Amino acid sequence: MNRDMSKRKLTFIVAVNSRDVLQNNLLASPCFRKPHGHQIIIQEGFNSAAKAYNDAIDRAQNELMVFVHQDIILPEQWLNQVENALQHLEEQDPSWGVLGCYGKTQTNGGRGWVYQSGPGMIGAPFENPVPVQTLDEIVLILRRSSQLRFDEGLPHFHLYGTDICLRAKQSGRTSYAIPAFCIHNSSQGFVLPKEFYECYWHVRRAWSSQLPIQASCIRITRLNLAMYKRRLSEIYFRYRRPHAIKGRRVQDIRQLVKEADITIEQKVEDEATSHCTV
């Protein structure tokens, strides 16, 4: 389909706690290098993602709103990939709920295509949007006309992607992981902060009728077995390997973009080889 996104304007919304990270990552994204006319709303000083994002929704000038982390890098082709996904959904499911770059189904694992500092490539290329139960918070796309809003009772900055997808489902809308490749330049450890678990319990209470819920990094269930297993592993890392990390944010994103490009080329070559016949 390969439509040009140049005529469709978006509102990008980002909650920021470091101007340096924002400037060196999201605002340095290849897709923003040329004049673009998209609205960018920078939210600072809020004590939760939900409050920051709802405030921005009220100020958004465009129908399509992209809620994105400050440490995400959007490649040059990202906007056209989003446009292709939107064109597909306009034909297949014009009442879609939430879109994102990576999500989880309830029972069949992850869907998406992201390169992350440290772990490397997560997922693989795919052609069309795929229904998911929840989406990771790195990128979330909503329409103003859907009237979806974030739960301001959900504290901090975790699991709001899970919550908004469940809100979409409650209104009869399906959420999708879309084939829009992005890069996450993140520092990540093996121990989640206590604020994450406060969000976990809030989501579990609010959406008990939807259990089990498969979020991007944890499964929420009635018995909480996955959560307790994770907390036990965190005890090990906290006391035996306190300096262990999954990945470290890099300062020069050019190297990260190059690594991602090389990995993509290798995946394409491997896939082409696997389809060769003798």
Look up tokens 């446009």; give the residue. Answer: 83
CA distance 122 to 60: 31
Q: What is the number of structural domains in the chain? A: 1
260: tokens are: 């991602």
Closest C-alpha to 67, from 88, 39, 31, 86: 39
pLDDT of the chain, 278 residues: tens digit per residue? 455 555 799 999 999 999 999 999 999 999 999 999 999 999 999 999 999 999 999 999 999 999 999 999 999 999 999 999 999 999 999 999 999 999 999 999 999 999 998 889 999 999 999 999 999 999 999 999 999 999 999 999 999 999 999 999 999 999 999 999 999 999 888 999 999 999 999 999 999 999 999 999 999 999 999 999 999 999 999 999 998 988 889 988 888 888 888 888 776 666 656 555 44
The domain containing residue 250 runs over which residues? 5-274
25: tokens are: 């990552």
Give the 3-state secondary structure of residue 244: coil
The rounded Cα 2 to chain-centroid distance in angstroms is 22
Return the CATH number at 238: 3.90.550.10
